[in-house]
Amino acid sequence: MTKLKKQLIAAAVLLAGFAAAFGSYLLLAPDDRTNTLDVRPAAEALPVRDSSHRLTRPEKSELTVVEFLDFECEACGAYFPAVEKLREEYGDRVTFVARYFPMPGHRNGELAARTAEAAARQGKFEEMYTKLFTAQKEWGESKDWKQDVFRSYAEHLGLDLDEFDADLADPEIAGRVQDDQRDGLALGVQGTPTFFVDGEKIANPASYEAFKALIDDRLPD
C-alpha cells in the first residue's frame, strides 16, 4: 500500500470519527428557524412524551436515553449500529426513545420522518426506523424526491399501501413530526444526533465504548 493511499484512508477514518462525534448541525440561525416553526416555551418542552416512540420497554426502566434524529443525517446513520448494540445489551434496563428532528438541508429528511410515523400507525415504526437507516445509502443525500423508494419499503414491510399513502399525506402526521421538532428546539437541540440521558443533554460520545461507559456510570449498581 502506498504512503498516499494510507494517508487518504487515515483522513477518511478521521472524518468519519468527527461526523459520528459531532453530528450534523443547523445552517440557519435560530431566528430563521422560528420563521417556519413556532418554538415551544422551554418550560413546556419535554425530552420524552407519552406519545414518543420507545424502542425498548423494560419492565423496570432504570435509565432513559432519547435521541433526536434525522433519518437522512449521515452522523445519525453512523451512530445507528452503536445504538442498536446498546439496545441489545441494555434493553432490559434502559428505555431507548427515538424522536424526529429532520434538518432543513436534507431533501428527504422530513419525508422520511413522516414515512416512519405513517408506518407507526400500522404498528411498524421500529421496522421502518431500521429500514430507513440500514438503507440510508440508497436514498440519502439525494436531490430527488424519494417517496416512491419509501413506498417500496412500506410494501416490503407488508403495510397496507392505500392506508400508508393516506397517512403520509395526513396533516396530523406532519404535525406529529413538528411536535418533536418544537420540543427539540426548546431543549436546545441544534443538530443531529442529539442525545438526552434522563433528561440531560449530553455531548455526543465519540465511540460505542464511550457511550457504554456513560450508561454504565449512570445505571444503579
Q: Sign of the CA dihedral 203, 206, 207, 213?
A: negative
Fold adopted by 3-218:
Glutaredoxin (3.40.30)
Please give the model's pTM, rounded to 2 decimal places: 0.85
> For 97-122, what is each residue's pLDDT tens digit?
999 999 988 989 999 999 999 999 99
> Which stretches of 63-198 are assigned E, i.e. beta strand?
63-69, 94-100, 191-192, 194-197
Asked whether residue 145 carries a pLDDT value surpassing 60, the answer given is yes
Q: Where are the chain's structural domains?
A: 3-218
Across residues 179-190, what is the average pLDDT?
Answer: 96
- Give pLDDT, residue 36: 62
Asked whether residue 8 carries a pLDDT value surpassing 90, the answer given is no
